[in-house]
A and B are shown apart, each in its own frame.
Chain A
Amino acid sequence: ETGVTQTPRHLVMGMTNKKSLKCEQHLGHNAMYWYKQSAKKPLELMFVYNFKEQTENNSVPSRFSPECPNSSHLFLHLHTLQPEDSALYLCASSHTGGGDEQYFGPGTRLTVT
């Protein structure tokens, strides 16, 4: 399935590095999301974009910086991360932001060393 794609699939970075995660959706949706999934925890919503506008920032540290240039693309810029930021980062999209079902990309497994 290629509805929502994410790159890279795996990333190892040091605490002083800067990297970016990319997400692209081919479903014609208008809302896009970033989630963090850590072991033994539920998915944590990080950011929501609806029609390219950020509508939710769920108290995410500023070392995570999202960017949504259009309704099909979403980025997550990373800098000076901590080891506890190691997790699976999932992008999702939905038709609108109104509680519709969301479709997920395969995720980026991030390890911060």
Chain B
Amino acid sequence: RKEVEQDPGPFNVPEGATVAFNCTYSNSASQSFFWYRQDCRKEPKLLMSVYSSGNEDGRFTAQLNRASQYISLLIRDSKLSDSATYLCVVSKDQTGANNLFFGTGTRLTVIP
């Protein structure tokens, strides 16, 4: 089983739509969770951390469900500039080891 699994998409949505991505992880001991964004032929960039209580940053909302071991990202009022690949990222375990595991990403295209 992969450490992190995401639906690769692509998700094609019109401007202004709401879109949600889910991600599942295999290690119940993981402690840190993130969403990264990667534009075509660019490096991944941190979008937001994901906290147990859920957190929001403008149009973006991230949620964590430890019991079911999944993470979600909700994007409201999609903009053309939101078109990118969204990477779900999970830490290795609770010992503070260095590793982060990256999903293969979910491709989003926002259509005018």
**A33 contact set on B, CB distance < 8 A:** 98
- Tell me, yes or no, whether A55 is within 8 Å of chain B by CB: yes
Size category of the B interface is 20 to 34
| A37-50 near B? 1/0 per residue, CB < 8 Å | 00011110100101
**Closest chain B CB from A92 CB (angstroms):** 8
- Tell me, yes or no, whether A99 is within 8 Å of chain B by CB: yes
Q: Within the complex, which residue of A41, A56, A94, A109 is in contact with B104, where a contact is CB–CB below 8 Å? A: A41
B43 to A101, Cβ gap below 8 A? no
**B91 contact set on A, CB distance < 8 A:** 99
A104 to B43, Cβ gap below 8 A? yes
**B105 contact set on A, CB distance < 8 A:** 42
B46 to A101, Cβ gap below 8 A? yes
**Closest chain B CB from A31 CB (angstroms):** 6
| B10-51 near A? 1/0 per residue, CB < 8 Å | 000000000000000000000110100000011111100100
